[in-house]
């Protein structure tokens, strides 16, 4: 179909940038954090993601999106990647990519699932399922880096203690950040809540009353997000204050 | 010039079925939406077309069901990189819904239950390119995939195929929708990889 190309502002264009891996560390039994130096990186808002492009020697190329894990910090971009066993890209990023290697990325992408500390003064509820914690962690880290006083509550549903991401970071004292951990399969010894999926009670106890009008960010698998966002609506939260982001399989 | 990724080979390529640039094939049906899934009762459901001069046309669920339907089998391409081949739908062509609408508009702003919007040129809704779809794979369209009814415009990235569709505003001037105002492309042709503003 013939259509004239719509001219865009060249300055607004997201260009592919070279990203050099400068560090990496294991984050859990299946996830690894990759630290990149990206010359020309314009900075980002917490919650935004990047597109990653890999190109094979025969010219075949594929892309995936990954949430940014760190607070904006010059030309540094950290991605926390969950290894999906039959994935095409995530096993490469987690197992093959070495310090000094260069990949391509462009971004930051996304202006909806973001926390804007300059504009948003309302309390914040973060609801994470598994690796859905990554963009929410960027919000927690941004709040901490800015010394922002907006009260945050995190409700983090994870399979088992060994699947927890960002363990040292979430152990750090962070006044005004309340943390609730929900284990879906196996909980630490003597944990008061039996293992199980997220419930209305968990969100009521670990979140904010709806009349506080919090901004709610829900991120995880499709099933988790459907459940958690539905529970928030049932508890009386305005659907317009609930932002969702889903992590599909296929990475 | 692309940077070669040392040691990256990728999956075996299916030469028989061409993917738009940057896409990969999935056999699942991932879900993408900005907020909670709205609950829309069929008793309250309505699809409304408003013209640039303010004339309103509307159909309730029974009226939609009474219109002739088609069963397109199409490939769909999501801006989040997945493509799904050969998806099977049932719905009413926009050619049927817009047949008697008097309008000289160039653009459309599609609205959904739950306040979602998306924009596209009106001509992309005509000539057998778009449907209001209410069945997927011989089943009622599930709510998380946009049921009771969603727009289906498979030649554009799938966010243009608004879930929980409630109507179309016809416009003389282009007006940006939800994702478009936060940086996604106004047109969104997957074959030209128009993901973001400026692509």
pLDDT tens digit string along A6-50?
444 445 578 999 999 999 999 998 999 999 999 999 999 999 999
From A240, which residue of chain B is nearest by alpha-carbon distance?
Answer: B35
- Are residues B198 and A88, on separate chains, in Cβ contact within 8 Å? no
Rounded distance between C-alpha atoms, residue A97 and residue A199, angstroms: 39
Nearest to A55 among B2, B80, B197 (CB): B2
Higher-confidence position of A111 and B188:
B188
Q: A240 to chain B: which residues are within 8 Å by CB?
A: 35, 115
pLDDT tens, residue by residue, B163-193: 999 999 999 999 999 999 988 999 999 999 9
Q: What is the gyration radius of the CA atoms in chain A, in angstroms? A: 19
Rounded distance between C-alpha atoms, residue B6 and residue B9, angstroms: 9
Instruction: Looking at the complex, report in whole angstroms how far the Cα of residue B66 sits from the nearest Cα belonging to chain A.
Output: 32
Rounded distance between C-alpha atoms, residue A208 and residue A202, angstroms: 11
Rounded distance between C-alpha atoms, residue B73 and residue B88, angstroms: 4
Most B CBs within 10 Å, among A16, A94, A135, A244, to test the B interface:
A244
Q: B115 to chain A: which residues are within 8 Å by CB?
A: 240
- C-alpha atoms less than 13 angstroms from C-alpha of B88 in its C-beta half-sphere: 4
Strongest mean pLDDT among A19-23, B20-24, B81-85, B140-144? A19-23
Q: What is the pLDDT of residue A36?
A: 98
Sign of CA dihedral A164, A167, A169, A174: positive
Instruction: Looking at the complex, report in whole angstroms how far the Cα of residue A173 sits from the nearest Cα belonging to chain B.
Output: 31
- Among A135, A138, A131, A140, residue whose Cα is nearest residue A221: A131
pLDDT tens, residue by residue, A121-162: 999 999 999 999 999 999 999 999 999 999 999 999 999 999
Triad A46, A48, A50: Cα angle to 5°: 135
Domain boundaries, chain A: 14-109, 124-246
Most A CBs within 10 Å, among B6, B8, B120, to test the A interface:
B8
Q: What is the pLDDT of residue B33?
A: 76
Q: A224 to chain B: which residues are within 8 Å by CB?
A: none
**DSSP state letter for A130:** G
Nearest to A60 among B10, B23, B80 (CB): B10
pLDDT at A5 over 50: no
Tally of helices (H runs) and strands (E runs) in chain B: 3, 11
What are the start-end ranges of the H helices in chain B? 61-66, 94-97, 178-181
- Statement: the pTM of the whole predicted model exceeds 0.90: no
pLDDT at B14 over 80: no
Residue given tokens 């299916």 in the structure block: B14
The CATH number fitting domain A124-246, selected from 3.90.79.10, 3.40.50.300, 3.40.50.80, 3.90.1150.10? 3.40.50.80
pLDDT at A204 over 60: yes
- Are residues B36 and A54, on separate chains, in Cβ contact within 8 Å? no
Nearest to A6 among B8, B21, B187 (CB): B187
Q: Which domains does chain B carry?
A: 41-192 (3.90.420.10)
pLDDT at B30 over 80: no
Q: Let me know if domain A14-109 sits in CATH 2.40.30.10.
A: yes
Q: What is the pLDDT of residue A248?
A: 60
Q: What is the pLDDT of residue B100?
A: 92
Nearest to B35 among A9, A54, A244 (CB): A244
């Amino acid at each position: 179909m013939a259509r004239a190309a719509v001219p865009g502002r060249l300055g607004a264009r997201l260009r592919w940038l070279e990203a050099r891996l400068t560090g990496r560390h294991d984050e859990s039994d299946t996830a690894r954090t990759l630290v990149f130096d990206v010359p020309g990186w314009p900075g980002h808002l917490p919650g935004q993601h990047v597109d990653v492009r890999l190109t094979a020697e025969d010219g075949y190329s594929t892309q995936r999106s990954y949430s940014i894990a760190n607070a904006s910090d010059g030309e540094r971009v950290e991605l926390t990647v969950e290894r999906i066993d039959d994935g095409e890209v995530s096993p490469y990023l987690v197992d093959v990519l070495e310090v000094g290697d260069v990949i391509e990325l462009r971004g930051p992408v996304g202006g909806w699932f973001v926390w804007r500390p300059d504009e948003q003064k309302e309390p914040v509820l973060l609801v994470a399922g598994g690796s859905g914690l990554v963009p929410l962690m960027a919000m927690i880290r941004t709040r901490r880096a800015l010394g922002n006083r907006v009260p945050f509550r995190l409700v983090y549903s994870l399979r088992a203690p060994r699947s927890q991401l960002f363990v040292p970071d979430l152990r750090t004292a962070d006044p005004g950040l309340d943390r609730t951990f929900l284990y879906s399969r196996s909980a630490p010894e003597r944990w008061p809540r039996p293992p199980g999926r997220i419930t209305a009670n968990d969100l009521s106890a670990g979140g904010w009353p709806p009349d506080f009008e919090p901004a709610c960010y829900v991120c995880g698998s499709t099933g988790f997000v459907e459940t958690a966002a539905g529970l928030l609506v049932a508890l009386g939260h305005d659907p317009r204050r609930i932002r969702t982001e889903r992590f599909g399989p296929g990475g | 010039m692309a940077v070669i990724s040392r040691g990256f080979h990728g999956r075996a390529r299916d030469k028989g079925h061409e993917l738009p640039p940057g896409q990969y094939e999935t056999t699942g049906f991932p879900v993408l939406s900005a907020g909670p899934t709205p609950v829309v009762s069929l008793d309250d459901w309505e699809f409304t077309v408003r013209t640039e001069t303010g004339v309103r046309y509307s159909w309730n669920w029974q009226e939609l069901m009474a219109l002739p339907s088609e069963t397109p089998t199409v490939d769909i391409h999501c801006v989040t990189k997945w493509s799904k081949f050969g998806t099977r739908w049932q719905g009413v062509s926009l050619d049927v819904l817009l047949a008697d609408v008097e309008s000289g508009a160039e653009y459309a702003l599609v609205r959904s239950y739950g306040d979602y919007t998306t924009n596209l040129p009106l001509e992309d809704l005509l000539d057998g390119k778009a449907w209001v779809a209410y069945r997927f794979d011989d089943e009622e369209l599930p709510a998380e995939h946009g049921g009771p009814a969603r727009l289906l415009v498979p030649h554009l990235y799938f966010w243009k195929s608004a879930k929980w569709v409630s109507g179309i505003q016809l416009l003389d001037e282009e007006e940006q929708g939800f994702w478009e105002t936060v940086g996604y492309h106004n047109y969104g042709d997957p074959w030209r990889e128009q993901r973001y503003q400026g692509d």
